[in-house]
Structure 1
């Protein structure tokens, strides 16, 4: 299931996202402690358990011990709620990644932290990247990485594409890790591959001859410690992230001579 971000009514969603001004209560005597922040926190917890598909105003209200109607005093509906929680989890990302070690280290740390964020909240990957929420926390994530990359001397036209590719790499890596963990709940990767490898070898005995390039690529599998419990696909996703970032940042560096490290 993919949910289109920014699908809430802009006139209602954006003031909530920026909390400017704080939305007035439309009903007398609101429950003490109940407000947009409390609703967002409860909704994030609900989404962490059920995903966006299972998120509802009623489910959030039950966590808060109120009726669903009480939430509408603060949040107009589910679309606006999704905007709020998607933007809200981005507040977990550390602020300034412009580390003393240089721009490459800063971009790498930014990417790794954002992957970790999406792995903690895999439902955020169900929110389409086609339209931004335009909230302050989502914007701060973009501001952070652009601030780092500007030191390379790249033009805005180039950096727009580099930043776009960084987000695709991050979301793809996090998605693979999340899928790997979800798949592991149905059995180990070793069992899955062992069962299918045996059947495949029986029905396609000439697999290596028919697909020599794929076979060659698969023969170069990375070695991992035997006592590492991390699922294979997750390890490979993290390794691919490191290699992908290095290649992309090598390209940025090569395109502009020798920018500041």
Structure 2
């Protein structure tokens, strides 16, 4: 399930929070908290809930409890959960991943591969991230900085900006989809207490009987290792095939 927040937030407030760190000039008593503390606490709570109750269970009350303050205290800093989610989305991509080794000499395949792997790790490290509705994204400083960087590197290919942007969008949606499937499996295990291996082991006797009925000759004749791959391996396989398709455009583009 996707947490919808795109249409119930104040665009102006979200932008001011992301780019200035506040919605209005401070007044009254000196603040007991900082916006950074609130966002960090919210990310911690969301990470803990992601595989059990899901991001839908994140609330201002739970964040306030984590900080040891009353719920109404948070509203001095953040007007609603929707705006808090915008801040959280931008916060978790703030620190550059040291394994994302992209520089000015890197080829386009390596640039796109590292970009996808960084996003994959973001989803795995924060399993709530791909479940927040970003159909109308608010670009904060960290998201915009990352997009500006990767587009700047890809421009060396000579491909039109629109083509590069569509490639990034296709890759993002592909990575997001596989990550969600992987996380769904982890969520099912956390929710039921039954591992994926145990789940399939329980089905094995019935499936074996069904396959030997003669109605599914192809499935019966398949190699026993046919389904022996992880989501990480599936992600890498699909990513390579995606880039094979991109090569027909990028490798043929005059520089």
* TM value normalised by structure 1: 0.81
Structure 2: where are the runs of 5+ without partners? none
Equivalent residues in 2 for 1:87-166, closer than 5 Å: 87-94=90-97, 97-98=102-103, 100-166=105-171
Whether the 8 Å contact between 1:125 and 1:171 is mirrored in structure 2 is yes
Aligned to 2:243: 249
Distance in structure 1 (CA, Å) of the matches to 2:201 and 2:22: 58
Structure 1 residue 180, shift from structure 2 partner: 2.8
Greater Cα offset, 115-124 or 195-204: 195-204
SS at match of 1:75: coil
Structure 1 residue 222, shift from structure 2 partner: 6.9
SS at match of 2:124: helix
Deviations 1:117-139 (A, max 9, x none): 11111111110131112212222
Aligned to 1:45: 44
1:202 to 203, 206, 209: 209
Distance in structure 2 (CA, Å) of the matches to 1:5 and 1:256: 36
Structure 1 residue 105, shift from structure 2 partner: 1.4
Distance in structure 1 (CA, Å) of the matches to 2:131 and 2:223: 30
Deviations 1:203-236 (A, max 9, x none): 4623423xx3x6677766276xxxxxxxx5xx2x
Distance in structure 2 (CA, Å) of the matches to 1:26 and 1:96: 44
Greater Cα offset, 143-152 or 214-223: 214-223
Whether the 8 Å contact between 1:93 and 1:114 is mirrored in structure 2 is no
1:68 aligns with 2:76: no
Distance in structure 2 (CA, Å) of the matches to 1:114 and 1:152: 22
SS at match of 1:187: coil
Aligned to 1:14: 15
SS at match of 1:4: coil
Structure 1: where are the runs of 5+ without partners? 224-231
SS at match of 2:94: helix
Query: What value does the CA root-mean-square deviation take over the aligned residues?
Result: 2.7
* TM value normalised by structure 2: 0.83
Greater Cα offset, 91-100 or 189-198: 91-100
Distance in structure 1 (CA, Å) of the matches to 2:253 and 2:232: 27
Structure 1 residue 59, shift from structure 2 partner: 1.1
1:30 aligns with 2:31: yes
Distance in structure 2 (CA, Å) of the matches to 1:69 and 1:157: 45
